[in-house]
Amino acid sequence: MFYLRGCGRWVAASFTKQQFPLVRLSSDSAAPRTPHFDVIVIGGGHAGTEAATAAARCGSRTLLLTHRVDTIGQMSCNPSFGGIGKGHLMREVDALDGLCSRICDQSGVHYKVLNRRKGPAVWGLRAQIDRKLYKQNMQKEILNTPLLTVQEGAVEDLILTEPEPEHTGKCRVSGVVLVDGSTVYAESVILTTGTFLRGMIVIGLEMHPAGRLGDQPSIGLAQTLEKLGFVVGRLKTGTPPRIAKDSINFSILNKQTPDNPSVPFSFTNETVWIKPEDQLPCYLTYTNPRVDEIVLNNLHLNSHVKETTRGPRYCPSIESKVLRFPNRLHQVWLEPEGMDSDLIYPQGLSMTLPTELQEKMITCIRGLEKAKGVIAGINASLRVSRKPPFVVSRTEGYIGVLIDDLTTLGTSEPYRMFTSRVEFRLSLRPDNADIRLTLRGYKDAGCVSQQRYERACWMKSSLEEGISVLKSIEFSSSKWKNLIPEVSISTSRSLPVRALDVLKYEEVDMDSLAKAVPEPLKKYTKCRELAERLKIEATYESVLFHQLQEIKGVQQDEALQLPKDIDYLTIRDVSLSHEVREKLHFSRPQTIGAASRIPGVTPAAIINLLRFVKTTQQRQAAMNESPKTDQCLRNADRLQERQL
């Protein structure tokens, strides 16, 4: 259904079999009544599409507001998904029935698992994506999602009302005001504005306002957030100049081919849409001293270097790399932008030099001489239904680590996920995200489809059964050596060895075990994913036991909830320094565990806070028990009266 109103274009998924005609309203037409939704999502980028579809999956009537419908699914910077750490996040989003992994499996042109030389806990699934194909597939998914309406329009302001008694805060957001003055009301509003909040594009010393190239920034909304007391800052990211494919001499560069077989991102897919032999290669080249010279001689023409605003530490511009690591050669990966695209993305050459200097730098490089939100959506829907929020803790997923880091530690630079940020990464692996999150997503949030839930249940029970069977099979080490000659097991071991322990050896997999002991192991090799996951479970069995004990300790701290309405600046029942009070007031941690991770909050303050929480809980428990005691006494009195 398409519906035009003022400067806003409405696009909705068809909820029923009824066909709605295209309606156009002229300026003198009677305006329809003010629309009302359960959830409004502002922004149609990666986070916005995930948040909007998650809210819709949970059963909420959802509106996605975006500047232009035809830019939904547009990959503004690097046309790739995943990587080390980020691949984990994609698996977890997929476990909650999110979109990005499934769309990547339909749109990639080069699939590769990074970090293969290390253990599976830190493998990073990554794919180079066809920009056009990803955009088409994402728009098809978004515009056919039940309960989801998409409208073109810029949000100028928020509609604010008095806060609800059960929620703390200075006001409640009950809707939005569009740039044409029209209003839309909702129970929950989610901001996923990306680079659009008072955004600027910088090339050399030239600066002009933009959300991204070709789109206007959001000024009014940024001003509203500032008036509400939110800290508004500016973070920098960069993008490299694109290179014409036919101007590159690929024959003299290092070629990288995709994995065979390709590993899909989504748990629901066994393969990706394209065969390995039909995928596109990537190529590697390097910078040289001439590149350093161009950068160093033109620092005065570069706003990125002159200003104090911090750029991305872990994806720095070429100017930053030259300054921080002088006299080094830096990698430049040449990545295709699509099957039928004539452009190449030079990964590692982000820069903000003037245009003519960018061209000059590119031609100095060998081969080039001629020549970048699902939890918010779930919780917005749960809030509409008056249900408790869906929380992923640091012990449950990379999503939990990301949210906790940003809400307790804050950031002065673009945040990047790494496996090193995660305390329990042996338990939070890409392969088991479905077991960790899909079952919870189905039962606690209702954001997971029945089909995905049943598949996760089957995988969980199959893994448990397979591990149990592997533990039950025991032979002497010499017998195992005879059954599997390639295994490097010591025959001097006196105690029987379990099949699960044999599977831990690098040269053993489920196929070789099943050949040695066909019954009952053969059936576990029919599903390739199940066989691979049994191998991973065996690899980490001993260390996981100890890590699970550590997780239980952390979960006890996380279970101690801080009162939502606590006023850290004025409360007198707990001894806290003024500095600690300010930090707690600013961060508003939900648990003792989160409070302990805030920089500047001392262990002594945590102990005092812990005492306060326990005392408050005991006091509340006594108050809850008191009415029950009074009721029991009243019932006893009535019984005595009847007996008399």
338: phi > 0 → left, psi -120 to 50 → alpha, else beta; which?
Answer: left
Domain shared by 279 and 362, yes or no: yes
The answer to whether 452 and 446 have CB atoms below 8 angstroms apart is no
Are 403 and 392 a contacting pair, CB within 8 Å?
Answer: yes
Supply the pLDDT for residue 621. Answer: 78
Q: Could you tell me if residue 280 is inside a domain?
A: yes
At residue 492, the pLDDT reads 80
In a domain, 630, yes or no: no
Q: Helix (H) and strand (E) counts for the chain?
A: 22, 21
Q: How many CA atoms lie within 13 A of 359 on its CB side?
A: 7
CB 497 within 8 A of CB 476: yes
Query: If DSSP codes are grouped into helix, strand and coil, which group holds residue 145?
Result: coil
Distances (CA, A) of 342 to 108, 162, 243, 245: 16, 54, 8, 5
The amino acid present at 281, given as its one-letter code, is P
- With a cut of 70, list the residues of the chain below it in pLDDT: 1-33, 168, 213, 304-315, 371-373, 412, 557, 626-644
CATH for 43: 3.50.50.60
For residue 76, which of 337, 283, 359 has the smallest C-alpha distance? 337
29 assigned to some structural domain? no
Q: What letter represents residue 356's amino acid?
A: E
In a domain, 631, yes or no: no
Q: Are residues 248 and 113 in the same domain?
A: no
Residues 97 and 123 in one domain: yes
In a domain, 343, yes or no: yes
Closest C-alpha among 576, 588, 581, 561 to residue 230: 588
My answer on whether 534 and 602 are in the same domain is no
Alpha helices by DSSP H, 258-373 = 289-297, 303-306, 318-324, 355-362
Q: Are residues 45 and 79 in the same domain?
A: yes
Domain C-terminal end among 484, 519, 546? 546
325: CATH: 2.40.30.260
Our count of domains for the chain comes to 4
For residues 148 and 174, the answer to whether their CB atoms sit within 8 Å is no
Separation in Å, CA 19 to CA 2, 14, 22:
11, 8, 10
Based on the fold, state whether residues 224 and 77 are members of the same structural domain: yes
Determine if residue 227 is left, alpha or beta; phi over 0 gives left, psi from -120 to 50 gives alpha, anything else beta.
alpha
Three-state DSSP at 64 gives: strand
Q: Which two tokens stand for residue 485?
A: 């000659």
Q: Please, are residues 401 and 85 in contact by the beta-carbon 8 Å criterion?
A: no
Same domain, 61 and 192: yes
172 with 121, same domain?
yes
Give domain status of residue 18, yes or no.
no
Give 190's strand partners.
Answer: 41
pLDDT at 634: 58
- CATH code of 506's domain: 1.10.10.1800
Instruction: Examine the fold and report which residue of 511, 546, 581 is the final residue of a domain before the chain moves on.
Output: 546
pLDDT of residue 498: 94
pLDDT of residue 592: 83
Q: Which domain holds residue 519?
A: 439-546
Q: Is residue 88 in a domain? A: yes
Residues 57 and 193 in one domain: yes
Whether 595 and 479 map to the same domain: the answer is no
Residue 120 DSSP label:
G
Q: What is the pLDDT of residue 26?
A: 30
CA–chain centroid gap for 373, Å, is 6
Do 579 and 540 fall into the same domain? no
In this structure, the answer to whether residues 154 and 47 fall within a common structural domain is yes
| In a domain? residue 107 | yes
CATH number of 605's domain: 1.10.150.570
Q: What local confidence, expressed as pLDDT, does residue 414 receive?
A: 74
Q: What angle, 0 to 180 degrees and rounded to 10, lies between the N-to-C axes of helices 100-107 and 131-142? A: 140
What residue type is assigned to position 405 of the chain? D
51 contacts 382 by C-beta, under 8 angstroms:
no
> What is the strand order of the sheet 148-152 is part of?
23-24, 2-5, 8-12, 148-152, 62-66, 36-42, 183-191, 172-178, 155-161
194 Ramachandran zone, left/alpha/beta (phi>0; psi -120 to 50):
left
